[in-house]
Protein backbone atom coordinates (compact mmCIF):
# COMPACT_ATOMS: atom_id res chain seq x y z
CA UNK A 1 0.00 0.00 0.00
CA UNK A 2 1.37 3.42 -0.97
CA UNK A 3 0.71 6.74 0.70
CA UNK A 4 -2.87 7.60 -0.16
CA UNK A 5 -4.44 11.03 0.18
CA UNK A 6 -5.88 9.90 3.53
CA UNK A 7 -2.42 8.95 4.84
CA UNK A 8 -1.04 12.31 3.68
CA UNK A 9 -3.94 14.07 5.42
CA UNK A 10 -3.16 12.25 8.67
CA UNK A 11 0.54 13.16 8.34
CA UNK A 12 -0.45 16.84 8.05
CA UNK A 13 -2.74 16.52 11.12
CA UNK A 14 0.09 15.01 13.17
CA UNK A 15 2.37 17.90 12.28
CA UNK A 16 -0.26 20.50 13.19
CA UNK A 17 -0.94 19.27 16.70
CA UNK A 18 1.64 16.65 17.61
CA UNK A 19 4.75 15.14 16.09
CA UNK A 20 5.67 12.11 14.04
CA UNK A 21 7.93 9.54 15.71
CA UNK A 22 10.63 8.39 13.29
CA UNK A 23 12.36 5.14 14.27
CA UNK A 24 15.69 4.44 12.58
CA UNK A 25 17.39 1.05 12.65
CA UNK A 26 21.06 1.63 13.43
CA UNK A 27 23.38 -0.20 15.84
CA UNK A 28 20.27 -0.03 18.02
CA UNK A 29 16.84 1.37 17.17
CA UNK A 30 16.78 5.16 17.60
CA UNK A 31 13.63 7.29 17.93
CA UNK A 32 13.45 10.90 16.77
CA UNK A 33 10.37 13.15 17.16
CA UNK A 34 9.71 15.07 13.94
CA UNK A 35 7.72 18.29 14.40
CA UNK A 36 7.97 19.65 10.86
CA UNK A 37 7.84 17.95 7.46
CA UNK A 38 7.04 18.33 3.82
CA UNK A 39 5.48 15.62 1.67
CA UNK A 40 7.26 15.40 -1.67
CA UNK A 41 5.55 13.48 -4.42
CA UNK A 42 3.97 10.09 -3.89
CA UNK A 43 6.43 8.46 -1.54
CA UNK A 44 8.86 10.91 0.11
CA UNK A 45 8.63 12.85 3.36
CA UNK A 46 11.39 15.37 4.14
CA UNK A 47 12.02 16.42 7.74
CA UNK A 48 14.20 19.39 8.78
CA UNK A 49 16.94 18.35 11.21
CA UNK A 50 19.19 20.20 13.62
CA UNK A 51 22.69 19.16 14.53
CA UNK A 52 21.74 18.72 18.20
CA UNK A 53 19.71 15.53 17.67
CA UNK A 54 22.56 13.36 16.44
CA UNK A 55 20.48 12.13 13.51
CA UNK A 56 23.16 13.13 10.98
CA UNK A 57 25.57 10.59 12.48
CA UNK A 58 22.91 7.86 12.66
CA UNK A 59 21.97 8.42 9.00
CA UNK A 60 25.46 8.70 7.52
CA UNK A 61 24.23 5.95 5.20
CA UNK A 62 20.64 5.14 4.24
CA UNK A 63 18.97 2.96 6.86
CA UNK A 64 15.63 1.21 7.38
CA UNK A 65 13.13 3.48 9.12
CA UNK A 66 9.53 3.59 10.30
CA UNK A 67 7.09 6.39 11.14
CA UNK A 68 3.76 6.13 12.94
CA UNK A 69 0.92 8.54 12.21
CA UNK A 70 -2.54 8.51 13.79
CA UNK A 71 -5.82 10.40 13.49
CA UNK A 72 -6.46 10.78 17.21
CA UNK A 73 -9.50 13.01 16.85
CA UNK A 74 -11.23 10.89 14.22
CA UNK A 75 -11.31 7.59 16.03
CA UNK A 76 -7.66 6.68 16.23
CA UNK A 77 -7.05 5.52 12.68
CA UNK A 78 -3.30 4.80 12.45
CA UNK A 79 -0.72 3.89 9.82
CA UNK A 80 2.81 2.55 10.05
CA UNK A 81 5.03 3.88 7.26
CA UNK A 82 8.01 1.71 6.41
CA UNK A 83 10.94 2.64 4.20
CA UNK A 84 14.47 4.01 4.18
CA UNK A 85 15.83 7.27 5.56
CA UNK A 86 18.97 9.18 4.69
CA UNK A 87 20.47 12.51 5.75
CA UNK A 88 21.00 15.32 3.24
CA UNK A 89 23.34 18.27 3.84
CA UNK A 90 23.74 21.57 1.98
CA UNK A 91 26.49 19.97 -0.08
CA UNK A 92 24.26 17.07 -1.18
CA UNK A 93 21.01 18.95 -1.79
CA UNK A 94 21.17 22.68 -1.11
CA UNK A 95 17.65 23.38 -2.40
CA UNK A 96 16.02 20.77 -0.12
CA UNK A 97 17.87 21.96 2.97
CA UNK A 98 16.91 25.58 2.17
CA UNK A 99 13.26 24.50 1.88
CA UNK A 100 13.53 22.71 5.23
CA UNK A 101 14.83 25.92 6.83
CA UNK A 102 11.61 27.59 5.62
CA UNK A 103 9.52 24.75 7.12
CA UNK A 104 10.98 25.38 10.58
CA UNK A 105 11.67 29.11 10.87
CA UNK A 106 13.62 30.11 13.93
CA UNK A 107 15.27 26.71 14.33
CA UNK A 108 18.94 26.06 13.46
CA UNK A 109 18.37 23.61 10.59
CA UNK A 110 21.59 21.92 9.46
CA UNK A 111 20.18 19.32 7.08
CA UNK A 112 17.19 17.24 6.09
CA UNK A 113 16.08 13.68 6.66
CA UNK A 114 14.69 12.19 3.46
CA UNK A 115 12.31 9.33 4.28
CA UNK A 116 11.31 7.27 1.22
CA UNK A 117 8.13 5.37 2.08
CA UNK A 118 7.99 1.91 0.56
CA UNK A 119 5.02 0.37 2.38
CA UNK A 120 2.10 1.68 4.43
CA UNK A 121 0.26 -0.55 6.90
CA UNK A 122 -3.03 0.09 8.66
CA UNK A 123 -2.17 -0.55 12.29
CA UNK A 124 -3.76 -0.36 15.74
CA UNK A 125 -3.41 3.15 17.16
CA UNK A 126 -0.78 3.93 19.77
Are 54 and 125 spatial neighbours (Cβ–Cβ below 8 Å)? no
**What is 5-123's CATH topology?**
Pnp Oxidase; Chain A (2.30.110)
Instruction: Return the closest-CA partner of residue 115 out of 67, 52, 54, 53.
Output: 67
pLDDT of residue 62: 96
Q: What is the pLDDT of residues 76-99, one digit of tens each?
A: 799 999 999 999 998 889 999 999
Task: Please state the domain extents for the chain.
Answer: 5-123
Instruction: Return the closest-CA partner of residue 118 out of 64, 82, 72, 67.
Output: 82
Are 118 and 43 spatial neighbours (Cβ–Cβ below 8 Å)? yes
pLDDT of residue 126: 72
Q: Name residues of the chain where pLDDT drops below 50.
A: none
Give the integer Cα–Cα distance in Å for 83 and 67: 9
Amino acid sequence: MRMTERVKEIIEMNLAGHYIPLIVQADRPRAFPMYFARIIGEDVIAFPATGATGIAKVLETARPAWALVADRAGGYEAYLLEGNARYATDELDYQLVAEMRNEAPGFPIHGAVVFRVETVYLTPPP
